[in-house]
């Protein structure tokens, strides 16, 4: 195992060590927040730092494959890949985890003695998410997916006394498991068709396609379709999105941020890794399907969001639409990956910020969040109101906010790939989307009866929302640095 | 000195200053907002003053590449067309801010939004990069939406949403076209995409491509103008908006559409322009007559002015798509004039509305006896809007009619009826509001205009007279820039711009020669 190195797996290792440390601290010392708050924060920061180190290393060495068995008797494909793609995912996931932790801190504080599990699960979930992006092996992707998913099922049902929380967790578990199962079945069929589980390396799927031509691709296509559907479930693309509104609405507001952001980042990274990198040879087969799902997601997500009265459901449906814009980048193949990264990395911060505001306004353990309860927010808590307005405009795709750059980038790459009809659908749904995002904005600024009832967000929640809004504005006005970075965030 | 960047930044800096006004001192907000809205006007005047007359090329150019691979740059410039739009914008904002004293709720947010709006509008008129242009074009929606939906009158939520959705649907087509154009340009230049106006100009577009892209741009701008049949958002938005919102909407936001036609449609897609000119001119003429006819029967004075905008903007579009120097120059002059006259009308309506809280024409009558100064200003604005010779409205619309008669005689004759209809709806409204006996007892004892209100109106009055009596300085700055657009159309298509006074079959005054047209004798006889 001469190619075993620490750096490629350091992200997961750091998070695991952090999680274990927190549990140990909790066992040895009293179960007091003041210990594991900083530990978890430092862990996420360290993980993001590891991402930076990986990025630098990849820039110097070009990255590579790790943990492949060398001896004759044991033929194992490489288990870990380190490239610009995985390093960028590490940076984003580490920072999103940190912001989500800040945003969830009110919730952590309110569940008191059980908070240690909560924080540890957040760390584990992010480790699982990154595992999905940093491996060439389809089974390891599945393991990462399940690590993250199981953590999220528990987080969704964390408020045991709340029926909505339990319902949310149950729904998430049942439909999430269905998605996972389909993905795994797809992996199995792919293995049956190609004899390989790995995207890169000697006996990889890519090499298989370069030397063999499958004359009867039925099994392979079934495998591809099942993997696609499994991941569509996870990223809540229409028509596999029905779980998202219920889960988001029922789950405690503080916990939804990471759930919504992290799964999108890792889910799309996995989609890009598997389909663009692994099955790039079949792009003409899967891209039309992805395009149709993208259009469907944009249309369904946007139109159904129009009639939502609950802010969390609205965010869930808008998330479906965002899944559509992200899928739009996929049809462009490798060219689309930078656009995907730009979009998903900025969206992740926005959605965490949005759910943090929900947790500020409605309380961290709350389930429902009627839009009416955001009335007059700009007066009850001016900074929260303005910041949420910024985040909403960012999501809507207004110019000078990050969402706009992301959308135009997505449309340009899709246009380059001759999917102009998809660009048409995307721009039109963006317009319709303005209707509900602006409705939220004008609700924030409208007058309410209880204007005097001030809302004082906690320090950590305030911090999370500020970071989220800053990302939205900065990468909306000066997106060039990030655009330069994502251009290098490509898979091997 | 990057004066244009400074010009765009100044209102934004002003917005920041206004945002810093302490919460406990709301009375300071309006004066400070007014003060910070003056520097952009100074900067715009500087540009106007130093603008080289007779130079058709872009002036005060600034160019900084932002993203190499996407060909996105911070590229600003003015020419004779955008110059006056910029000055008009910089002028109308301080006036609208000064006229916003009736805003009492959340004044700070209001002023911040106004100043952000000004930045957006200036950006639209100054940007030459399609990406940046689109960004500004779109961002204007947000402050305007909030201005209407938060400070508008009764039906504001509906009007604000209608405004945003209509315009944004247009923007969607615009964005698709811009992306397609950038990708095509990029392909031809060997890069990923290119949004720079001057590079896009070099792109080799097939006729079919031009048709599609022209269509995409045209829908966006036609909704913004608004051109019949896309005008239905306008009466609602104008009527429900607060006074300043109406002034800015009519005064400068509509011009973003006509400006877009001139800057992008005509310049980038000459072949499509020539082929689509007549259909668009027909829509324009329908708009002229329809807008005027509907204005006559409006019971709401603000709605009446709103419909008159549809009519006036129809003239602008007719002038543009007549594809003659006179027509286009007249269009730009009308854009300026319409900004001044409609701005004046909305300001005046706002002033009386603050006192009476009604916009229904039937609620008024005999105002001239009660508020003579106000009535005087109103009559002046009515005359200017109706196109009384010697005032700005006449100069623009008359030039348009001269220009469009050369290429579209029948349409021009129909359009001319719009001038008469304008006199009817404006003077009849004046008659019902200002003359006759005072029926409504609430009108007794109304306060006439104060010093502040007169001070708001005077600059507009002076400019309306100035433009009406001595329009030469404006014409000589516009004509070269318009000429270059037509030259490009002539150079790339078979279209020939007719000379003034030399339509087919008529004695050529210039050279004293007789053209060879067979019906010459009839004409001569």
Q: Are B280 and B227 in contact (CB under 8 A)?
A: yes
pLDDT of residue A181: 94
∠ Cα A107 A108 A114 (to 5°): 120
For residue B45, is it within any domain? no
Residue B517 reports pLDDT greater than 60: no
Over the stretch B367-409, which tens digit does the pLDDT of each residue have? 888 888 888 999 999 999 988 888 988 898 889 998 888 888 8
Q: Per the domain annotation, does B388 fall within a domain?
A: yes
β-bridge mates for residue B14, sequence order: none
Comparing C-alpha atoms, which of B153, B100, B123 is closest to residue B40?
A: B123
Between the alpha carbon of residue A393 and those of residues A127, A164, B36, B142, the distances in Å are 31, 29, 26, 9
Mutant choice from A408, A422, A475 vs B, greatest count of B C-beta within 10 A: A408
Q: Is B64 near chain A, with CB under 8 Å?
A: no
Chain B hits for A428, CB-CB cut-off 8 Å, are 169, 172
pLDDT at residue A29 is higher than 80: no
Least confident of A42-51, A247-256, B416-425, B492-501: B492-501
Number of domains in chain B: 1
Residue B469 within a domain: yes
Indicate whether A70 pLDDT > 70: no
CB A317 within 8 A of CB A249: no
How would residue A456 be classed by pLDDT, with cut points 50, 70 and 90?
confident
Q: Is residue B480 part of a domain?
A: yes
Min Cα–Cα distance to chain A from B22, Å: 13
pLDDT of residue B524: 40
Give the integer Cα–Cα distance in Å for A356 and A362.
10
Residue B258 lies in a domain: no
Alpha-carbon span A8 to A67, nearest angstrom: 10
A contacts of B183 (beta carbons < 8 Å): 412, 415-416
Predicted pLDDT of residue B435:
86
Q: Which is more confident, B444 or B247?
A: B247
Q: What is the mean pLDDT of chain B?
A: 86
How confident is the prediction for chain A on average, in pLDDT? 89
Whether A438 and B164 lie within 8 Å, measured CB to CB = yes
Which among B251, B112, B401 is positioned nearest to A378, based on CA atoms? B112
B138–A contact, CB cutoff 8 A: yes
Numbered residues of chain A with Cβ closer than 8 Å to any chain B Cβ: 378, 393, 398-400, 404, 408, 411-412, 415-416, 420, 423-424, 427-428, 430-432, 434-435, 438-439, 441-442, 445-447, 479-480, 483, 487
For strand B72-78 and strand A80-82, is the pairing parallel, antiparallel, or unpaired? unpaired
pLDDT at B341 over 80: yes
Residue-level pLDDT at A358? 92
pLDDT confidence of residue B28: 85
pLDDT at B508: 42
**Which of B69, B134, B142 lies nearest to residue A393, judging by beta carbons?**
B142
Confidence band of A127 (pLDDT split at 50, 70, 90): very high
CA distance A2 to chain B (A): 40
Residue A406 in tokens:
């992301």
Q: Is there a contact between A423 and B179 if contact means CB atoms under 8 Å apart?
A: yes
Average pLDDT over residues B90-112: 87
Q: What is the pLDDT of residue B525?
A: 34
Contact A445/B146, CB-based, under 8 Å? yes
What band does A106 get if pLDDT is binned at 50, 70 and 90?
A: confident
- B401: Cβ–Cβ under 8 A, 6 or more apart, which residues? B330, B412, B415, B416
Can you tell me which residue has the tokens 């409205």? B393
The pLDDT of residue A449: 65
Cis peptide before B226 (omega within 30 of 0): yes
How far does A265 lie from chain B, in Å, by closest CA? 25
Q: What is the pLDDT of residue B289?
A: 92
Which chain A positions have a beta carbon within 8 Å of B12's beta carbon? none
pLDDT in tens, B220-261: 999 988 888 888 888 888 888 888 889 999 889 999 999 999
Using DSSP, how many helices (H) and how many strands (E) does chain B show? 24, 2
pLDDT digits (tens, 9 = 90+) for B167-184: 888 888 888 888 888 888
Do B66 and A432 count as a contact with CB atoms less than 8 A apart?
no
- Chain A residues closer than 8 Å to B145 by CB: 438, 442
- Split at pLDDT 50, 70, 90, the class of A78 is confident
Minimum CA–CA partner of A481 in chain B: B67
Residues of chain B found within 8 Å of residue A396, distances taken between Cβ atoms:
none
Q: How distant is the Cα of A90 from the closest Cα of chain B, in angstroms?
A: 25
- The sign one gets for the Cα dihedral A21, A22, A26, A27 is negative
Q: CA-CA distance, B13 to B36, in Å (whole number)?
A: 8
Out of A261-265, B266-270, B437-441, the most confident range is A261-265
Residue-wise DSSP of B172-235: HHHHHHHHHHHHHHHHHHTSS---BHHHHHH----HHHHHHHHHHHHHHHHHHTTPTTSTTHHH
Tell me the per-residue pLDDT of A319-360, one tens digit each, with 9 for 90 and over. Answer: 999 999 999 999 999 989 999 999 999 999 999 999 999 999
Is some CB atom of chain A closer than 8 A to the CB atom of B190? no
Q: Which residues pair with B64 in a beta bridge?
A: B74
> Cis omega (within 30 of 0) on the bond before A434?
no
- Comparing CA positions, the residue from A19, A20, A7, A21 lying closest to residue A51 is A7
Residue A269 has pLDDT above 90, yes or no: yes
Residues A280-332: tens digit of each pLDDT: 888 998 999 999 999 999 999 999 999 999 999 999 999 999 999 999 999 99
pLDDT of residue B510: 45
- Read off the pLDDT band of B166 (50, 70, 90): confident
**Facing residue for B149 by CB, picked from A428, A434, A442:** A442
pLDDT in tens, B34-54: 899 999 999 999 998 988 887
DSSP A182-195: HHHHHHHHHHHHHS
Is the Cβ–Cβ distance between B37 and B456 less than 8 Å? no
Residue A369 reports pLDDT greater than 50: yes
The residue segments making up the domain with residue B413 are 269-498
3-state DSSP call for residue B14? Answer: helix
The pLDDT confidence band at residue B504, using thresholds 50, 70 and 90, is very low
């Amino acid at each position: 195992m001469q190619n075993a190195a620490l750096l490629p797996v350091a992200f997961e290792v750091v998070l695991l060590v952090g999680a274990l440390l927190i549990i140990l601290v909790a066992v040895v010392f009293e179960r007091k927040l003041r210990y594991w708050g900083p530990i978890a924060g430092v862990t996420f920061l360290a993980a993001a730092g590891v991402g930076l180190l990986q990025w630098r290393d990849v820039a110097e060495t070009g990255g590579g494959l790790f943990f492949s068995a060398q001896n004759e008797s044991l033929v194992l494909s490489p288990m870990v890949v380190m490239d610009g793609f995985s390093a960028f995912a590490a940076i984003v996931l580490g920072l999103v985890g940190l912001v989500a932790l800040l945003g969830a801190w009110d919730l952590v504080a309110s569940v008191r003695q059980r908070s240690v599990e909560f924080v540890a699960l957040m760390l584990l979930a992010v480790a699982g998410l990154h595992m999905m992006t940093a491996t060439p092996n389809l089974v390891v992707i599945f393991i990462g997916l399940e690590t993250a998913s199981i953590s999220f099922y528990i987080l969704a049902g964390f408020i045991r006394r709340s029926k909505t929380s339990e319902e949310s967790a149950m729904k998430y578990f049942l439909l999430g498991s269905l998605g996972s199962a389909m993905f795994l079945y797809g992996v199995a069929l792919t293995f049956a068709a190609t004899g390989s589980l790995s995207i890169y390396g000697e006996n990889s799927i890519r090499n298989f396609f370069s030397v063999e031509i499958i004359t009867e691709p039925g099994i392979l296509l079934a495998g591809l379709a099942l993997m696609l559907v499994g991941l569509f479930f996870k990223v809540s693309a229409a028509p596999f999105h029905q779980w998202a509104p219920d889960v988001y609405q029922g789950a405690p507001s503080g916990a939804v941020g990471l759930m919504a952001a992290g799964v999108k980042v890792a889910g799309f990274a996995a989609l890009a890794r598997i389909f663009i990198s692994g099955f790039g040879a079949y792009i003409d087969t899967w891209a039309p399907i992805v395009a149709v799902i993208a259009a469907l997601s944009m249309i369904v997500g946007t139109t159904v969001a129009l009639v939502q009265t609950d802010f969390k459901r609205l965010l869930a449906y808008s998330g479906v639409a965002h899944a559509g814009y992200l899928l739009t980048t996929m049809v462009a193949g490798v060219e689309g990956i930078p656009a995907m990264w730009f979009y998903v990395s900025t969206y992740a911060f926005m959605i965490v910020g949005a759910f943090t505001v929900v947790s500020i306004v409605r309380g961290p353990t709350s389930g429902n969040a009627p839009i009416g309860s955001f009335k007059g927010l700009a007066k009850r808590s001016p900074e929260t109101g303005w910041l949420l307005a910024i985040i909403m405009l960012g999501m809507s795709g207004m110019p000078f906010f990050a969402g706009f750059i992301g959308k135009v980038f997505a449309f340009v790459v899709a246009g380059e790939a001759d999917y102009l009809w998809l660009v048409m659908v995307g721009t039109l749904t963006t317009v319709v989307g303005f209707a509900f995002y602006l409705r939220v904005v004008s609700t924030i600024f409208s007058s309410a009866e209880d204007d005097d009832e001030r809302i004082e967000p906690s320090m950590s929640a305030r911090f999370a929302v500020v970071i989220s809004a800053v990302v939205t504005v900065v990468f909306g006005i000066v997106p060039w640095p990030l655009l330069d970075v994502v251009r290098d965030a490509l898979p091997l | 000195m990057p004066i244009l960047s400074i010009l765009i930044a100044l209102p934004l800096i002003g917005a920041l200053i206004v945002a810093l006004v302490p919460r406990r001192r709301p009375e300071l907000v309006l004066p400070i907002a007014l003060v910070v809205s003056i520097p952009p006007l100074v900067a715009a005047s500087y540009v106007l003053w130093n603008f080289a007359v007779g130079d058709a090329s872009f002036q005060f150019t600034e160019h900084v590449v932002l993203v190499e691979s996407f060909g996105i740059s911070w590229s600003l410039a003015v020419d004779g067309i955008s110059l006056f739009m910029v000055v008009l914008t910089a002028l109308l904002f301080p006036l609208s801010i000064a006229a916003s004293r009736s805003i009492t709720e959340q004044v700070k947010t209001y002023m911040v939004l106004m100043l952000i709006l000004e930045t957006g509008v200036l950006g639209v008129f100054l940007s030459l990069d399609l990406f940046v242009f689109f960004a500004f074009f779109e961002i204007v929606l947000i402050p305007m939406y909030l201005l209407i939906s938060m400070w508008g009158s009764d039906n504001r939520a509906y009007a604000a949403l209608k405004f945003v959705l209509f315009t944004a649907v247009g923007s969607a087509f615009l964005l698709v076209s811009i992306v397609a154009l950038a990708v095509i340009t990029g392909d031809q230049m060997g890069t990923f995409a290119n949004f720079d106006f001057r590079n896009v100009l070099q792109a080799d577009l097939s006729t079919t491509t031009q048709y599609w892209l022209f269509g995409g741009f045209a829908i966006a701008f036609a909704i913004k103008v608004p051109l019949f049949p896309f005008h239905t958002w306008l009466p609602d938005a104008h009527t429900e908006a607060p006074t300043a919102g109406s002034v800015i909407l009519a005064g400068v936001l509509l011009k973003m559409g006509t400006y877009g036609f001139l800057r992008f449609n005509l310049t980038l897609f000459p072949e499509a322009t020539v082929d689509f000119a007549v259909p668009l001119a027909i829509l324009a003429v329908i708009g002229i007559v329809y807008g005027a006819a509907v204005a006559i029967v409006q019971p709401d004075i603000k709605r009446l002015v709103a419909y008159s905008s549809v009519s006036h903007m129809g003239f602008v579009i007719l002038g543009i798509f007549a594809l003659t120097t006179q027509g286009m120059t007249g269009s730009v002059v009308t854009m300026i004039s319409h900004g001044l006259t409609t701005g004046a009308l909305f300001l005046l309506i706002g002033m009386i509305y603050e006192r009476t809280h009604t916009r229904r024409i039937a609620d008024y009558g005999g105002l001239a006896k009660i508020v003579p100064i106000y009535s005087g200003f109103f009559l002046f604005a009515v005359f200017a809007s109706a196109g009384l010779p010697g005032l700005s409205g006449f100069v623009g619309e008359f030039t348009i009619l001269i220009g469009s008669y050369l290429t579209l005689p029948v349409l021009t004759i129909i359009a001319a009826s719009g001038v008469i209809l304008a006199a009817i709806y404006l003077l009849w409204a004046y008659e019902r509001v200002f003359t006759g006996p005072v029926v409504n007892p609430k009108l007794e004892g109304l306060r006439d205009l104060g010093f502040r209100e007169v001070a708001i109106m005077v600059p507009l009055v002076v400019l309306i007279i100035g433009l009406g009596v001595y329009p030469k300085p404006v014409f000589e700055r516009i004509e070269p820039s318009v000429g270059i657009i037509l030259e490009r159309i002539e150079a790339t298509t078979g279209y020939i711009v007719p000379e003034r006074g030399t339509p087919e079959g008529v004695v050529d005054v210039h050279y004293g020669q007789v053209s060879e047209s067979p019906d010459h004798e009839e004409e001569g006889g």
